[in-house]
Each structure stands twice: as C-alpha cells, then as structure tokens.
Structure 1
Amino acid sequence: MTILGKRIRMERIMNRNTGRTVIVPMDHGISVGPIPGLTDMKTTIQNIADGGANAIVEHKGLVEEGHRKGGSDIGLIIHLSGSTSLSIYPNAKTLVCSVEEAIKLGADAVSIHVNLGNGQEKEMLNDFGKVAYEARTWGMPLLAMMYPRGEKIKDEYDVNVVKHVARVGKEMGADIIKVSYTGSPESFREVTEGCAAPVVIAGGPKMDSDRDILEMVKGSVDAGGAGVSIGRNVFQHRDPKRMVQAISSIVHEGATVDEGLEILG
C-alpha cells in the first residue's frame, strides 16, 4: 500500500504526461526572514497556483496561508529542515519537522536540505538517512535539496561536485533531487546521467534578466532535467503568475525561450 500511496502522491507533484515538474519553494522565511514576495503568502501562493505550478515548498507553520484555496489546486511539499542566516553555522541544517507531522498536515511530499563539504556534513547525512527511512515507510515522496557548500568547496557550481552531491541524494533514497545548474546543457547532462532519479534545478539568487532565467530552464531540460524548483526568480518577479506560465511552457510543452518570453510580454 505504501508503493501505491507514493505513486498517487508523486502524481500530485510530477506531471504524469511529461514526468517533469515546476516547483516553487517558499521556505526562505526561516533562513532569511520575510523577504519581498513572501510577506503576503496567500496572494503569492494564489498567483503561483493560477500560473500552473505543480507544487510549492513551505514550512509547516504556513500550510494554512492559502494552500488549495480560491479554486486553484497545487501540490504541497513540506520542508523538514532549516537554519538561519543569523547563525554562525548557517550551512548546518537541522530537522524541524517529521514525515509523520507533514502527513498530518496534508503534505503530498516532504523535502530536506543537505549541504555537503562542511564540518556539519555527518549530522546532515545522519538526518537524511532517518528521513529517507520514514518517507519510504509512509510512502511519502522525498525531495532532497543537495548543495556543495562549506569549507572544502571552492566552486559550488563545478559540475564535478554538483554531480557528486546529486548522486549522494539518490544513493540516500530521495525520489527527486534538486541541485544548482552547472551553466550549460553539456555540463548539466553529466549530472542527470550520473543520477538515476529526476533532477530539478534551483533558481539561485534573483536574476535581472527574464531571458537568463528561461535559458537556464531550457538548458536543464535539454540536458535531461526533470524541471525546476525555482523560488526568488518566481515569487519576486514582477508577475509571478506569468513567470510560472512561461517556465511551465518550456518544462511541459517544449516551448522555446522566445516563446516563453512572449508569455511574459
């Protein structure tokens, strides 16, 4: 029954026709506070849902702030880990929610953030192992946000470290792996080919150019990526609804970058 349950939940966050997904993470409040785009959560979530995103990521305390209200439905991924920029160890993520609690809140999936290459790596891997076991036991899809960040990392966009952390995510039992884009379809293909699980890209810092965002999305999909998990470049956009529509057109409909830009006007 857990296998059936996982399949049903996966269909709420992955498009069954394309096998890809457009996820908008909005878990930034714990890390950096109420940044622009995340002050009026109900409006932001509604715009993202109306744009056609497959799922959002948020912490447990914000589930009631508009999820599945106002007519538009959207998958719910509850984030299980956190840290703050106020800490002297901001890269050290700790568990702040459990799989069971997320189920009680109506989650379709759970996510965990793991930074590798720092002094707290072993604790985060230990937490990852426990969460992966609980998720498998309950039939809950698990999204792993995998980043090479810490004292040993010289370049967190280096394809060699990105494909390593992506592989760690799969080896540990995640169903979807989120990593940074490595800059080109050619290099990112090394990441997708080395990870036997759907790989989605992070959006990174807020970009100034819509074309840059859509070219990154297009490049990742062309390299075998399974879509996106883009936050600030969606919810801080001048028109989040249309940005989701533009990204979705590339991820699910095979649109070109120029066609995506036409949606943005």
Structure 2
Amino acid sequence: MNLEKLIPADVPPEKKGEFLAHLQETTNGTGRLMLFAGDQKVEHLNNDFYGPGIPLEDNNPEHLFKIASKAKVGVFATQFGLISRYAPDYKKIPYLIKLNSKTNIIPYSAKDPYSQQWIEVEEAIEFARYSGINLQGFGYTVYLGSEHEHSMLTEAANIVHTAHKHGYLAVLWMYPKGNFVKDEHDPHLIAGAAGVALCLGADFAKVKVPYKDGKFIPELLIEATVAAGNCGVLCEGGKKIDERTFLQELYDQIHIGGTRGNGTGRNIHQRPLEEAIKMANAIYAITCEDKSVDEAIKILEA
C-alpha cells in the first residue's frame, strides 16, 4: 500500500514526514493497524481484570505495559493518566492516548451516554516531549445516536484536526449507543458509523462486529469498509474466545471484509504474560505481516 496516499490534507507540509513515520511504524508499512486496547479499566471498571477465568496478574495494571513492551503491537491505546504513572519504565511502547472514557455504571437504557474529552491534544503532546514517551497518536470514542452526539462529534472533529496539525494519527471508536439504538451490531448501522468517522477525518475507525442472526459473517463488513473510504476500519476484539476462532475471524475480517486491522484487549491481556505476548504476536502476524491463520497458530504453540 502506498502510505503517502493516506496522508490527509490537514497535515501541514512540514509535518507530513512525521505523520508518514507514525503510519509506517504503527502499521509495519502495510496500512493495517494492530491496536492493543487497554482502556477497559475505565470503560468496564474491574470486570475485565479480575474474576473467574482471568489470571490474577491481570488485576495489576502493569500487566498491560509488560505485554505492550514485549509483544509486537502497532499501538497500545490507553488513558493519559495510566500512561503517566508507568511511562518512566515503559517509554518505548508505541502509545495511542485515549482522550475520553466513561464507566458502564449507568445503563444506556437509563441515560444516553456522553463521554467527554479529558485533556487537550496539545497538553498530551507537551507531556510526550518532556517525558520522552513514544507517542503515535490519539483516540476518542463517539456514541452515535446518543442525545449528546453533537458534543462528541464536535470534540472528535477538533481532536482529529489538531492531531493531524501536529503530525499524529487519529483513531475514533465509533459505537452507536443510546435509547434509539436497537441493534448496535446491525451491519447497515455500523457502515454508517464508519462513514461518519471518515467525515470527521479519522485515519482509523474502530467499530462493532456486524452480526446477522447472532452470527459473524465476514461479507457483512464490506458495506462498512467501502463506506469508510480511505479511513481504515478496525473491528473490536470483544470477549475472550478460543484462539483459533478469534484468529480465523480476524483473518476473514481483513481478507474478506476488507478491514485494515483490529482493536483487541481482552483476548490478549486476559492471559498469563507469556501467553498474552504470544497471542499479541499472532494477531500482529495476521494483521501486519500478512501471515496465515496456521502460521499464527504456530506462534502460539512455540
């Protein structure tokens, strides 16, 4: 893929080299992004880190940083504060700073969600400069269909543009949620969300996996990946499932559905460290090294 064609016009001429370098590093030159998602400590509180079937070490937030520092990842996406607490020991991790988050305490049926921006892009860039972390870009969640979507759309547009002005990538989590959203896995709705991410200028859109009758069919993604244009579509990883099933779905998302990567959290970090590293490497192999499912499985079995 010619990565230069993916440089948006709002990246200033003097920043195009930096933007291209970020895109090259995070995608291994493929234009596909392997996003290791570590933002669930806010989104799901401690539900994803402690409980039956989850190794005790996952309850320690440093587990995320150990994985991200030793495995192959495109970016490690998590909140600014979490990064600042562990940055002194993990500066080389390719970070994507998540600029907003909300908990799941208030159900969506009770109140439409609004996830407000926590800090400004410029503040995070300044932090990256004096702390020496390897900052690659910024992330933000938009809840389409919420009565507050206008505020989130405005914040998202400004985040994307400001990130680009400074030569950084911008990834938007595009999740339809609220009282008027009947099926957040509806393929047509997901395609619409991907198209909105493109209109906001995002480089990548992280979306829900489309289902028909409760089943994933990779062809259902084609509407979304076409609607997203040259904005890359990433599917969320979801709950932890069997390794081969997960890797096969990932392969099909890319090679049948036309996605340009994935955003995976629980299917990586809900494992002991060495297993988590192997799983991340297997996901990276399919996403950014064009490996087959069988080749990825061999990484797990090594």
TM-score (norm 1): 0.90
What is aligned with 2:31?
19
Partner of 1:112: 140
Counterpart of 2:59?
39
* Residue pairs, 1:1-265, within 5 angstroms: 1-16=14-29, 18-34=30-46, 35-36=48-49, 39-67=59-87, 69=89, 73-87=92-106, 89=111, 91-106=113-128, 107-182=135-210, 183-196=216-229, 197-204=231-238, 206-222=239-255, 223-238=257-272, 239-265=275-301
Percentage identity across aligned positions? Answer: 25
Deviation at 1:261, TM superposition (A): 2.5
Maintained 8 Å contact 1:84/1:90: no
In structure 2, the residue corresponding to 1:94 is in which secondary structure?
coil
Q: Secondary structure at the match of 1:95?
A: coil
Return the letter of the residue paired with 1:110: F
Distance change in 2, residues 1:240/1:66 (3 Å): farther
- Taking the aligned partners of 2:144 and 2:261, their CA distance within structure 1 comes to 23
> In structure 1, what is the Cα distance between the partners aligned to 2:291 and 2:21?
28
Change (3 A) 1:29 1:210: same
Matching residue's letter, 1:76:
Y
Query: What is the CA deviation profile of residues 45-88 of structure 1, one whole-angstrom value per residue up to 9, with x for unaligned ones?
Result: 22233221111011111114545847x94311001111122346
Q: Is the 8 A contact 1:41 1:65 kept in 2?
A: no
Paired position in structure 1 for 2:10: none
CA change 1:193–1:116 in 2 (3 A) is same
Which secondary structure does the structure 2 equivalent of 1:6 belong to? helix
Do the aligned residues in 2 keep the contact of 1:29 with 1:38 (CA within 8 Å)? no
> Which structure has the larger Rg?
2
Cα distance in 2 for residues equivalent to 1:39 and 1:136: 35
Q: What are the superposed Cα offsets for residues 115-165 of structure 1, whole Å, 9 maximum, x if unpaired?
A: 111222112112112222322322221101101112222211111000100
CA distance in 2, matches of 1:235, 1:133: 31
| Unaligned residue ranges in structure 2 (runs of 5+) | 1-13, 50-56, 129-134, 211-215
Deviates more, 1:30-39 or 1:125-134: 30-39
Distance 1:252 1:12, change over 3 A: closer
Could you list the runs of 5+ residues in structure 1 that have no partner in the other structure? none
Q: Distance in 1 between matches of 2:234 and 2:261?
A: 5
Q: Contact 1:26/1:38 (CA < 8 Å) preserved in 2? A: no
Contact 2:78 2:97 in 1 (8 A): yes
Q: Give the aligned residue type for 2:125.
A: I
Seen in structure 2, the aligned counterparts of structure 1 residues 213 and 164 have a Cα distance that, compared at 3 Å, is same
- Find runs of 4+ consecutive structure 1 residues off by over 6 angstroms: none
Q: Residues 4 and 254 of structure 1: is their aligned pair in 2 closer, same or farther, counting only changes over 3 Å? A: closer
After superposition, the Cα gap between the structure-2 partners of 1:48 and 1:133, relative to the gap in structure 1 and judged at 3 Å, is closer
Residue 32 of structure 2 aligns with an amino acid whose one-letter code is R
Change (3 A) 1:77 1:68: farther
